[in-house]
Amino acid sequence: MALKRVGIIGFPLSHTLSPIMHNAAFAALGLTDWHYDAMEIPPDIPKHAVEEPRRAGYVGLNVTIPFKQVVMAYCTPDAKARAIGAVNTIDFRTDVGTNTDVDGFIEDLLAHQLPLRGEKVIVLGAGGAARAAVYGLWQQGAQIVVVNRTKERADDMLAQLTVSAGVQGVQILTLDKAAEWGASLIVNCTSAGMKPQTDESPWIAGVPLPQGVTVYDMVYRPAQTAFMRQAEAVGGRAIGGLGMLIRQGAAAFRLWTGREAPLEVMRQAAEQALAQHL
Ligand SMILES: NC(=O)c1ccc[n+]([C@@H]2O[C@H](COP(=O)([O-])OP(=O)(O)OC[C@H]3O[C@@H](n4cnc5c(N)ncnc54)[C@H](OP(=O)(O)O)[C@@H]3O)[C@@H](O)[C@H]2O)c1
């Protein structure tokens, strides 16, 4: 039985949970001919990072920082990847590059029974994760305000999303103005609070959080972030980003294997690895 190999390219990759999640999922479904590798590749050779696994017969790849944008030149990005301007999953059998971050994010919000259509949502950040969040929320019909430390980056993100995906009507505000606007959901798409900067929060202390708000923190290391604690301290609900990570992986798993991914197996494997690395 020929080995079917998939893997992740990125730099650095020392903390990736993807091999652990996927290999646990292959084992749970008896897919003993599948294996998932981590391939740490120097940032200056993106073409090599895609072409070598392709030549070696890999079925597909996950792509993470710093390659998500640049690999668009080395595959055929689908409409979703073109809209966001980033690829995180490639299927070499079709050459298609897609982006499963959006589906992972929206599926996890819906799994937590969060209404989105017509809801007021504040997105914190303007990097790759924020781009996926704004696109997904906009598709779901949410009203969106973006807050970013560097306003020009937020301007650029929205200008690009307007061109690539027709995104309209998203406002950029300062944090205090966004707080006044109010929201039922605030999504942290910044890296503030991520290990080792665990005391940091993207929400400035002293700016009141909207009453009854739900905070969704894409950061999953640590499981409980400073921002989540701020929300809970005022009676809000707080959800960490592990569910999104698992669901974006599950979407790639489905694409490559044609099988439904065992979400609970993937969650347990990821939680165990996180607990061991603490
Ligand atoms: N759960 C998941 O599945 C999942 C998926 C994707 C990403 N993520 C997480 O999402 C986060 C962002 O990822 P990314 O790829 O979008 O990164 P990125 O492209 O590097 O963007 C980083 C963003 O964070 C902001 N930022 C960084 N430090 C900050 C601070 N101390 N205070 C306020 N803002 C700060 C940056 O603001 P400036 O523009 O001002 O620099 C920028 O908007 C990371 O923690 C990543 O692990 C999670």
Cα–ligand 1 centroid distance for 129 (angstroms) = 7
User: Known catalytic residue: 68?
Assistant: yes
For ligand 1, atom 21, name the residue with the nearest CA: 127
pLDDT tens digit sequence for 111-169: 999 999 999 999 999 998 999 999 999 999 999 999 999 999 999 999 999 999 999 99
DSSP sequence for 184-205? SEEEE-S-TT-TT-TT--SS-T
pLDDT tens digit sequence for 227-240: 999 999 999 999 99
- The pTM (predicted TM-score) of the whole model is 0.96
Structural domains of the chain, ranges and CATH numbers in brackets = 4-99+243-277 (3.40.50.10860), 103-240 (3.40.50.720)
Closest ligand 1 atom, residue 247 Cα: 3
Quick one: DSSP state of residue 229?
Answer: H
Round to whole Å and give the CA distance between 263 and 68.
24
Round to whole Å and give the CA distance between 144 and 46.
33
Q: Identify which of 105, 219, 222, 121 has the alpha carbon closest to the alpha carbon of residue 171.
A: 121
> Who lines ligand 1 at CB under 6 A?
65, 101, 104, 125-130, 148-150, 153, 189-192, 194, 200, 202, 218-220, 241, 244-245, 248
Along the 278 residues of the chain, how does pLDDT read in single tens digits? 799 999 999 999 988 999 999 999 999 999 999 999 999 999 999 999 999 999 999 999 999 999 999 999 999 999 999 999 999 999 999 999 999 999 999 999 999 999 999 999 999 999 989 999 999 999 999 999 999 999 999 999 999 999 999 999 999 999 999 999 999 999 999 999 999 999 999 999 999 999 999 999 999 999 999 999 999 999 999 999 999 999 999 999 999 999 999 999 999 999 999 998 75
- Say whether 7 sits in a helix, a strand or coil: strand
Closest ligand 1 atom, residue 241 Cα: 1
| E strand or H helix that includes residue 80 | helix 79-84
Query: Which residues lie below 8 Å from residue 117, measured CB to CB, with a gap of 6+?
Result: 140, 141, 142
Query: Which residues lie below 8 Å from residue 147, measured CB to CB, with a gap of 6+?
Result: 122, 123, 124, 154, 172, 173, 174, 175, 178
**Percent of the chain scoring above 70 in pLDDT:** 100
- For helices 242-257 and 263-277, the axis angle rounded to 10 degrees is 130
Round to whole Å and give the CA distance between 264 and 253.
14
Mutate to test the pocket of ligand 1, among 190, 194, 197, 198 (most ligand atoms within 8 A of CB): 190
